[in-house]
Amino acid sequence: MDLSQALEVASHTDPGMVRSNNEDSIASVPEHGLVVLADGMGGYNAGEVASGMATTVLTTELRQMLEEHAPHEVDPQSGQKAAAKMLQQQIAKANSSIFQAAQSQPQYAGMGTTLVVALFYDNKVMVAHIGDSRLYRMRGDEFSQVSKDHSLLQEQIDAGMLTKEQAKGSSNKNLVTRAMGIDPAVEPEIHEYDTQPGDIYLLCSDGLSDMVSDEDIGMALQALGANLNLAVQQLVQMANDNGGRDNVSVVLVKILRDYPAGQGLAKKIFGWFR
């Protein structure tokens, strides 16, 4: 099923005002409802190798799988949606590729990457993330953060040591507690959400969320939601106007209409006799 009529995708990545190279990587396969964003780290240029590997492995492998399997089908044994299983498998694969490259090539030692992936199907979205790259949702007037960072700061907030307000003043913003490519195995956090026509989903690296307040991001999406390309440019520009201290990457996905999973041929035939 081609989702490019139901979803509008716009994206942009920018090195920012301070860094010379861009260690972020973004990719999308609109016809399969797949968007990926990774924020690489470590070593001389190795960060972009890690994030590039993550997005490339995930898009090529998932594209192939989605052509053969329907993501909404439920595996009778595990009770798991095919989408969750696919994401889990391919993230594991990408993780081990990055890990092995980092282990075998000295110039890549210590590289890793954060990740946020959204896979849209059957009026739903399956979101997987690792680290502090985020997914936000704009529904009606409400703009909210959907994914929860795997970071020291978030753990401190959860433990009640810091309030969200205090967290803005913390100097430990840059420490993630989970990343791809660091260990032989990684555990992504995967959740499924219902989507509604008119929703706008934002995937971004910390270069946006650290530089621009959630309130201002929400305001930009409210004002420019009718023109996604402009909204993407505006968000990157706001991050850069505020200092642009890190690479900035933004992916926006707008739900234009419902996209229920296609009924199988067999079901259609049975439907006639009902």
Partner 1 sequence: MAKLILSMDGLVLKEIQLSKERTTIGRKPHNDIQIDNLAVSGEHAVIVTILADSFLEDLGSTNGTFVNGKTVKKHFLQNNDVIELGKYKLKYMAEAQPGAVKAADFEKTMILRPGAMRKPPAPAAPAPAHVETAPAGAAAATPPADAAARSHAATQVGITAASVGVSASTPASVPTPTHAPSPAPAPAAPARHAMLKLMSGGNAGKELELTKPLTTLGKPGVQVAVITRRPQGFFITHVEGANKPIVNGKPIEQQAHALNDHDVIELAGVKVEFFFKR
Site for partner 1 in 193-252 (CB under 8 A): 197-198, 206, 216, 219-220, 222-230, 234, 237-238, 241, 245-246, 251
Q: Among residues 68, 76, 79, 171, which is the contact residue for partner 1, using CB under 8 A?
A: 171
User: Is residue 40 part of the contact set for partner 1 (CB under 8 A)?
Assistant: yes
Residue 242 DSSP SS3: coil
When the beta carbons of 55 and 85 are compared against partner 1, the nearer one is 55
Kindly indicate which of the ranges 35-43, 64-72, 85-93, 265-273 contains the residues binding partner 1, using the contact rule CB under 8 A. 35-43
When the beta carbons of 84 and 138 are compared against partner 1, the nearer one is 138
Decide: 249 and 207 in contact? Cβ < 8 Å. yes
When the beta carbons of 52 and 71 are compared against partner 1, the nearer one is 52
Residue with tokens 């499924």: 192
When the beta carbons of 30 and 192 are compared against partner 1, the nearer one is 30
Q: How far apart are CA 149 and CA 130, in angstroms?
A: 8
Angle formed by the axes of helices 228-241 and 214-224, nearest 10°: 150
Taking the complex as a whole, the smallest distance from the CB of residue 128 to partner 1 amounts, in Å, to 18
When the beta carbons of 77 and 104 are compared against partner 1, the nearer one is 104
Residue 74 DSSP SS3: strand
Query: For residue 28, which of 12, 5, 17 has the smallest C-alpha distance?
Result: 12
By CB under 8 A, what part of segment 116-145 binds partner 1? 131-132, 140-141
Q: How far apart are CA 127 and CA 112, in angstroms?
A: 20
Kindly indicate which of the ranges 25-33, 81-89, 117-125, 262-270 contains the residues binding partner 1, using the contact rule CB under 8 A. 25-33
CB atoms within 10 A of CB 104: 9
Residue 213 DSSP class: -
Decide: 186 and 130 in contact? Cβ < 8 Å. yes
Taking the complex as a whole, the smallest distance from the CB of residue 57 to partner 1 amounts, in Å, to 8
Query: For residue 59, which of 36, 83, 93 has the smallest C-alpha distance?
Result: 36
Q: Among residues 177, 189, 191, 214, which is the contact residue for partner 1, using CB under 8 A?
A: 177
When the beta carbons of 127 and 157 are compared against partner 1, the nearer one is 157
Query: For residue 194, which of 133, 255, 110 has the smallest C-alpha distance?
Result: 255
Taking the complex as a whole, the smallest distance from the CB of residue 263 to partner 1 amounts, in Å, to 23
When the beta carbons of 64 and 103 are compared against partner 1, the nearer one is 103
By CB under 8 A, what part of segment 61-90 binds partner 1? none
| Residue 97, H or E segment | helix 82-104
